[in-house]
Amino acid sequence: MRVTINGKSEQVPAGTIEQLVRQRGLKPEALVVEHNQRIVRQAQWAQVRLQEGDILELLRFVGGG
C-alpha cells in the first residue's frame, strides 16, 4: 500500500508503525512519529496499523541554535 512518509509517497508493506520503524532501521529512542497530524508515543507504535493514504512524519532532534 502507499503512504506518504516525510512528504514522499512510498510503497510499504502492511503493518504497524513499530514494524515500519524496524524495517527502516531507525533508532526508536531518537525518533518522533507524527501519524496523520497526531503524535504517536513510542508505547503506542505497536498498536497503530498503517492504512492506505496515511501521512507519516518521522522526525528527530538535531543540532540547532
- Interface positions with other proteins (CB under 8 A): 5-7, 24-27, 29-32, 34, 39, 41, 57-65
Q: Which is nearer to other proteins, 52 or 62 (CB)?
A: 62
Min dist. Cβ of residue 30 to other proteins (A): 4
Min dist. Cβ of residue 62 to other proteins (A): 5
What span, in angstroms and rounded, lies between the C-alpha atoms of 3 and 8?
8
Min dist. Cβ of residue 18 to other proteins (A): 15
Taking the CA atoms of the chain, what radius of gyration do you get in angstroms? 12
Burial of 62 (0-12, 13-18, 19+ CB in 10 A): exposed
